[in-house]
Chain A
Amino acid sequence: MNLWVVLAVNSITLGGLLFLLSAGFSLIFGLMKIPNLTHGSFFMLGAYLATSLIAHGFDFWTAAILGGLLVAALGGIVERLILRRLVGAELAQVLVTLGLSFMIADVCLLVWTGDPIRIATPAALRGATSVMGLGFPTYRLAISLIAVVFAVLLWMLLDRTRLGAMIRAGVDDPAMARVVGIRVSRLFTIVFCLGAWLAGFAGVIGGPILSVYPGLDQEMLPLALVVVILGGSGSLVGSLVGSFVVGFLYNFGQAMFPELAYVVLFLPMLVVLVVRPQGLFGRQAV
C-alpha cells in the first residue's frame, strides 16, 4: 500500500517537472513547427548556469530565474540568427537544433568539466512533510506546486491576454494571423525565448533531484518528446495531461515491469501516433 502512495506522489512530482520542460517545447512546436532538439540542452544549460550563479552567492530561486533568463537570451539569439532563416525546412531545423545540442554539450563539458555537480536543495524545503501519515520529501511536493502555478500562469497568458490571443492565432493559422496584422515573426522570438526560459528554469528546479552532469540533456529530451506527442503539440492542456501520464507511466512502469520500463513508456506514444497523430489534445493540422 505504502509503495503505491509513494509512487503516486512521485509520479506527480516527475509530471510537474516534465510539464515545465515540455510546455515550452510544445508551444514552440505548435507555433513555429520547429522540433527543437536543443530543448534538453536548454534544460541542462540552465542547471549548469545555476550552479555557477549559486557558487557566486546567489540564492537558489534567484539563480533559477536568472539561469532561465540567460538560457532565454541564448534561445533568442538562436531563433533570430539561425532558425529564422530555416522556416519550413524541417530537416534543416532538426539538423541545426541537433547540432546545437552537441555544441552546447561540448561547451558545458569545457566550462563545468565532466564531473557531476550537485545542486543543494533550498534550506526551507529540506526534509520530509507528512501527508496522510506518510513522509514525503518536501522539495518534491514543492515542484508539483510550482508546476501547478506555472500551468495556471501560462493558461492565463494564453487565454486571457492579448499576447496569448495572438499566439493562439499564430498556432492555428499563421498566414491569416499575418493578414490581420499580427507580427508573427516577433511572436516566434517571444515564444522561443519563453520556451527556452521554461526549460532552463526547469533544469534548475530539477537540479536538487537530478544533479547536473554531461548527458542530462539527452536523458530529458526523449521524455519531453513523449509528453508532447501524447498531449498534442501547441496545447497547454495536452502538455499538462501528457506530463502527468508520462510521470505515472514512468514510475509505475519501472516498479511493476522493470524489464519493460521503456516499452511501458514509449508504447502509448506509438499507439497515439498511429491512432491519433495530432495527440490527445492537439488540433487537426490545418
Chain B
Amino acid sequence: MAVKVRRREFLAGAAGAAVTASLAFPAIAQPKPVRIGLLTVKTGPLAAGGIQMEQGTIRFLKDRNHNLAGRKVELVVADTGGNPAGTKTKTQELVERDNVDMIFGPLAAFELLAITDYTAQAKMPVLSLAAAEDMTQRRPNPYFVRASGTSAQYMHPLADYAAKELKFKRVITIADDFAFGHEQMAGFQRVFEDAGGRVVKKLWPPLVTPDYTPYIAQIGGVDAVVQGFAGSNPLKFMKQYQDQGLKLPVLGGGPAGDEALLKSYGDEAVGMISVSAYTGDLDTPSNKRLIDGMVKDYGNIPGLYSAGLYINGMVAEAALEKTGGKTDDREAFNRALRSVSLVDTPRGPFTFDHFGNVVGTFYIRRTERKGDKLVNTTIKTYPKVSQFWTYDEKWFLAQPVYSRDYPPLKS
C-alpha cells in the first residue's frame, strides 16, 4: 500500500513539475519534447504486469532525468483496460490527439493485434513486449520493434537445455489455452524433439481455471513437466502441483519464473528451472541501477515487465542519439530504432533482426531459497538467440506458425 502512495506522489510531483516547466520555458525557447505514449493496463486481471510496465518506464526516465539525446521527454500514460477495443481507442488518442513520437506497449498480444494495422498506417513505431510470433514473422509490421522476444524464442533454449544438459527424454507440457501458451509449447516441442526428446502429452487448461487438479492428476510417467502459464496462473499451478504430492521436476517459461512473481511463491517453486530474457542476477551496471532504483522507488524487485520497459527506454534513447534527437522523419527514426545495438542493458547485449525482433541472450535459471527470499540463479546463458533459433530463416517461415496442434504430437 505504501508503495502505491509513493508512486502516486511521484506522478503528482512529476505532473506538477511538467506544468511548471512548460510555464517557465515557453515552447519556442526549447526544442519540442519527445513524447512517448505508454499503452498499459491498470485495471482488471492484467493490471499486475501493466503497473510494472509503468514503473519500469518511469524508472528509466528518472534515471535519465527526463532527457534523451538532448531533448526533454514527456510520458503520456494510457490505460487500455486490457481489452482490444480500449487499446484501439487509446492508441488513436495517443497518435492523433497527443501526437506521440512512439508507443511503448501494449501488454498483451490480442491488444497488439488490434492496433498493428492502424499503427503501421500511421507509421508509428511500437515497442512492445507482446510475444505473438507472426508480428515479426509471417505478418510483420515494419514499425514494430520487440526487444524482449517471441513466445517460442524463450522456449527454444529451454528445450535445448532440457534435452542436452538435463538429459530429459519424455515430458508433458501444460499451458494456458490461448495463443501465447500454444506458441510457447510448440516451440519447446520442435527443439526438444529435434534433440531426440519426446513430448508425450500437451495439456491445455482454460485461461480461467480455479483448480488445476484435474489436469495435474493426468501427469505422470515422464521425466519432467513443462509449464507455460502466465499472469497469476503459474503460482496457482505450482501450489496445487505440490499439494498433489508430485515430485517431477518442473520447467517454466518466462512468466513462470519471473522475478516479480517470486515474492508471491513459497517453497513449492524451489528447484523450478525457468527461462527468461531478463534475469535479476545478471551483473551489469545498468541492471544494478535498475534493481536499486526499483527497490528504492517501489520496494519491488523488477521482473520481465518493468525491466522490459526500461530496456525499451534504452532502445529509444539509442535511436534518438543516432538521429541527433530528431523524430520528425518517422522512417529514419524507425530505421534507427531497428539498427540499435546495445551492450550494457539489464538483459545483456542484443541487436535486432530485419523484422525488428531481438537477437539476444536468454538465461536458464534455477529458483532457490536464499534466507527468507526466493531468487533465481542463472545456470546457463544462451547468447545471440534469434527468433528462428538455429533453423534456417526461410525454412522456418515456410512452416506453419506455431499453434495448438502444430507441430503435431507423434503417435
Cβ-based interface call for B206 (8 A): yes
Q: Are A120 and B266 closer than 8 Å at their CB atoms?
A: yes
Contact with B along A82-102 (1 / 0, CB 8 A): 000000000000000000000
> Of A14, A135, A213, A253, which contacts B232 at CB under 8 A?
A213
Cβ-based interface call for A142 (8 A): no
Q: Which residues of A contact B245 (CB under 8 A)?
A: 128, 135, 137
C-alpha spacing A251/B214, complex, angstroms: 5
Q: Are B243 and A211 closer than 8 Å at their CB atoms?
A: no
C-alpha spacing A14/B214, complex, angstroms: 11
Interface size on B, residues (CB 8 A): 41
User: Closest CB-CB distance, A9 to chain B, in whole Å?
Assistant: 9
Report the stretch among B16-24, B39-47, B349-357 that lies at the interface.
Answer: B39-47
Q: Are A10 and B47 closer than 8 Å at their CB atoms?
A: no
Cβ-based interface call for B409 (8 A): no
User: Closest CB-CB distance, B244 to chain A, in whole Å?
Assistant: 7
Q: Are A261 and B206 closer than 8 Å at their CB atoms?
A: yes
Q: Are A250 and B48 closer than 8 Å at their CB atoms?
A: no
User: Closest CB-CB distance, A123 to chain B, in whole Å?
Assistant: 13
Q: Are B1 and A111 closer than 8 Å at their CB atoms?
A: yes
Contact with B along A186-215 (1 / 0, CB 8 A): 000000000000000000000011110111
Cβ-based interface call for A131 (8 A): no
Q: Are B244 and A254 closer than 8 Å at their CB atoms?
A: no
Cβ-based interface call for A140 (8 A): yes
Q: Which residues of B contact A7 (CB under 8 A)?
A: 213-214, 217
Q: Are A10 and B264 closer than 8 Å at their CB atoms?
A: no
Query: Which residue of A is nearest B303, CB measured?
Result: A115
C-alpha spacing A213/B217, complex, angstroms: 24
Tell which of B203, B211, B215 has the most Cβ of chain A within 10 Å: B211
Query: Which residue of B is nearest A247, CB measured?
Result: B211
> Of A6, A111, A121, A210, which contacts B211 at CB under 8 A?
A210
User: Closest CB-CB distance, B95 to chain A, in whole Å?
Assistant: 27
C-alpha spacing A254/B217, complex, angstroms: 11
Q: Which residues of B contact A209 (CB under 8 A)?
A: 211, 239-240, 243
Q: Which residues of A contact B51 (CB under 8 A)?
A: 113-114
Cβ-based interface call for B28 (8 A): no
Contact with B along A125-154 (1 / 0, CB 8 A): 000100000010101100000000000000
Cβ-based interface call for B49 (8 A): yes
Contact with B along A107-125 (1 / 0, CB 8 A): 0011111111110110000
Query: Which residue of B is nearest A102, CB measured?
Result: B43
> Of B4, B218, B243, B261, which contacts A139 at CB under 8 A?
B243
C-alpha spacing A44/B51, complex, angstroms: 20
Complex interface residues of chain B between 248 and 285 (CB less than 8 A to chain A): 260-261, 263-266
Q: Are A214 and B214 closer than 8 Å at their CB atoms?
A: no
Q: Which residues of B contact A113 (CB under 8 A)?
A: 3-4, 48, 51
> Of A116, A137, A213, A250, which contacts B243 at CB under 8 A?
A137
Q: Which residues of A contact B214 (CB under 8 A)?
A: 7, 10, 250-255
- Given A116-B48, A219-B208, A250-B211, CB of A211 within 8 Å of CB of B4: no
- Given A10-B213, A219-B210, A258-B204, CB of A211 within 8 Å of CB of B235: yes
C-alpha spacing A209/B1, complex, angstroms: 24
Q: Are B232 and A254 closer than 8 Å at their CB atoms?
A: no
Q: Are A254 and B243 closer than 8 Å at their CB atoms?
A: no
Q: Which residues of A contact B205 (CB under 8 A)?
A: 254, 258, 261
Q: Are B48 and A211 closer than 8 Å at their CB atoms?
A: no
C-alpha spacing A135/B242, complex, angstroms: 12
Complex interface residues of chain B between 211 and 251 (CB less than 8 A to chain A): 211, 213-215, 217-218, 231-232, 235-236, 239-240, 243-245
Query: Which residue of B is nearest A258, CB measured?
Result: B204
Q: Are B264 and A116 closer than 8 Å at their CB atoms?
A: yes
Cβ-based interface call for A58 (8 A): no
Cβ-based interface call for B293 (8 A): no
> Of A10, A140, A214, A261, which contacts B48 at CB under 8 A?
A214
User: Closest CB-CB distance, B306 to chain A, in whole Å?
Assistant: 12
Cβ-based interface call for A159 (8 A): no
Cβ-based interface call for B37 (8 A): no
> Of B50, B206, B213, B266, which contacts A262 at CB under 8 A?
B206
Cβ-based interface call for A223 (8 A): yes
C-alpha spacing A262/B46, complex, angstroms: 22
Cβ-based interface call for A59 (8 A): no
Chain B interfacial positions (CB closer than 8 Å to A): 1, 3-4, 42-51, 203-206, 208-211, 213-215, 217-218, 231-232, 235-236, 239-240, 243-245, 260-261, 263-266
Give me 21 A-to-B residue pairs in the complex whose CB atoms sit less than 8 angstroms apart, sorted by A's number.
A6-B244, A7-B213, A109-B43, A111-B4, A114-B46, A114-B47, A115-B260, A115-B263, A115-B264, A116-B48, A116-B231, A116-B235, A118-B264, A137-B245, A211-B235, A211-B236, A211-B239, A213-B235, A219-B208, A255-B215, A258-B203
Chain A interfacial positions (CB closer than 8 Å to B): 3, 6-7, 10, 14, 105-106, 109-118, 120-121, 128, 135, 137, 139-140, 208-211, 213-216, 218-220, 223, 250-255, 258, 261-262
Further 11 A-B residue pairs, CB within 8 A, beyond A111-B4, A215-B44: A106-B43, A112-B1, A113-B3, A116-B235, A116-B261, A213-B48, A213-B232, A214-B44, A214-B47, A215-B45, A258-B204
